[in-house]
Amino acid sequence: MTKTVGEILQLSSKYLRDKGSESPRLDAELLIADALKIRRLDLYLSPERPLTVAETDCIREGLRRRAKLEPLAYIRGVREFFGLNFHVTPDTLIPRPETETLVDAAITWISANLATKVVDVGTGSGAIACTLAANLPQVHVLATDISKAALDVAARNADALDVTNRISFINCHLLDDIPKAFNPQLIISNPPYIAENERELMDISVLQYEPLGALFSGDEGTDLTFELIERAREILLPGGAFIVETGSPAQRDKVRARLESAFSHNVSPLTDPGGTIRGFLVEVSDSKEI
């Protein structure tokens, strides 16, 4: 029997709730709206609209995937970040709101210092690189990632946001293949920073679906961050800056200590609206040995 929009919304919400979704109503709304190619609001404006067989099948497929706890962003193929829509796949980490704190700080610093050259290390979907390019028309970004598949996704996002001419993508480890002549004024990164011993604490949907190489970084979660700090210190000139995202409070203390050891001073915590430290900004004046 043909279901209406209102009926399928109620049934889908209950189904996802029973399957353990933390936001069953929202998930159902988004999946149904995508299948019908309408806005979420339209679901409530036309609740009596009957569904076609093709629409019902599309909704069922989305529900089937979400019931297995596949992230909604992968099912929909899109995630919003800093007010922009980014295509995402299982080859890329799903952009998180926490990283917007770093982007806010980067935009402020770039604008204040009239910077034009930025490196985004471990770009993934290109969320940081594309957002900076979209908001700062004077900026050119070199975006690196060790995953060629992730860079393909990032390039697609750059094209969709019309910033392709101001982002160069480089398939390499951290900063290995950055041209010496580029001399970046800002290096920014959301590197893998989850400790291996925290694996059992992770959400099952993250472990099953997101790229593990973009999540974990050694026993304490600091291996790549510490390596990146050393490389950034070698590359950045006085007057430049380094922004890096971090994880747990204990890890943040270790990262801050390493930053203060690598750079003379000017290590500032970056806090989100709730007051949680999400990373650090280092303004480079002098450097010293670790």
Q: What is the mean pLDDT of residues 22-29?
A: 96
| Residue 27 pLDDT level (bands cut at 50, 70, 90) | very high
Q: What percent of the chain has pLDDT over 90?
A: 91
| Residue 264 pLDDT level (bands cut at 50, 70, 90) | confident
- H or E element that contains 171: strand 167-171
What is the residue type of 288? K
DSSP SS3 for 2: coil
Q: What is the mean pLDDT of residues 125-137?
A: 99
Q: What is the mean pLDDT of residues 44-61?
A: 96
Q: What is the mean pLDDT of residues 238-265?
A: 92
Q: What is the mean pLDDT of residues 155-178?
A: 98
pLDDT of 287 > 70? The answer is: no
Contact (Cβ atoms closer than 8 angstroms) between residue 117 and residue 148: no
Q: What is the mean pLDDT of residues 114-141?
A: 98
CATH class of the domain whose range is 5-68: mainly alpha
Measured CA to CA, the distance from residue 154 to residue 172 in angstroms comes to: 14
Q: What is the pLDDT of residue 162?
A: 98
Higher pLDDT pick, 201 / 12: 12
Q: What is the pLDDT of residue 75?
A: 98
Q: How many CB atoms lie within 10 A of CB 147?
A: 18
Q: What is the pLDDT of residue 288?
A: 46
Question: What are the residue boundaries of the structural domains of the chain, listed by start?
Answer: 5-68, 79-283
pLDDT of 289 > 80? The answer is: no
Contacts of 148 (CB under 8 A, 6+ apart): 171
Measured CA to CA, the distance from residue 189 to residue 243 in angstroms comes to: 6
Measured CA to CA, the distance from residue 50 to residue 254 in angstroms comes to: 58
Contact (Cβ atoms closer than 8 angstroms) between residue 123 and residue 154: yes
pLDDT of 263 > 80? The answer is: yes
Q: What is the pLDDT of residue 272?
A: 96
Q: What is the pLDDT of residue 211?
A: 96
CATH class of the domain whose range is 79-283: alpha beta
Q: What is the mean pLDDT of residues 70-99?
A: 98
Higher pLDDT pick, 20 / 118: 118
DSSP SS3 for 137: coil
Q: What is the pLDDT of residue 231?
A: 96
Structure tokens at 60: 């069922």
Measured CA to CA, the distance from residue 115 to residue 76 in angstroms comes to: 36
Measured CA to CA, the distance from residue 43 to residue 92 in angstroms comes to: 30
Contact (Cβ atoms closer than 8 angstroms) between residue 75 and residue 62: yes
Q: What is the pLDDT of residue 138?
A: 97
Q: How many CB atoms lie within 10 A of CB 177?
A: 11
pLDDT of 286 > 70? The answer is: no
Q: Cα–Cα distances in Å, from 128 out to 94, 95, 119, 225?
A: 12, 9, 10, 17
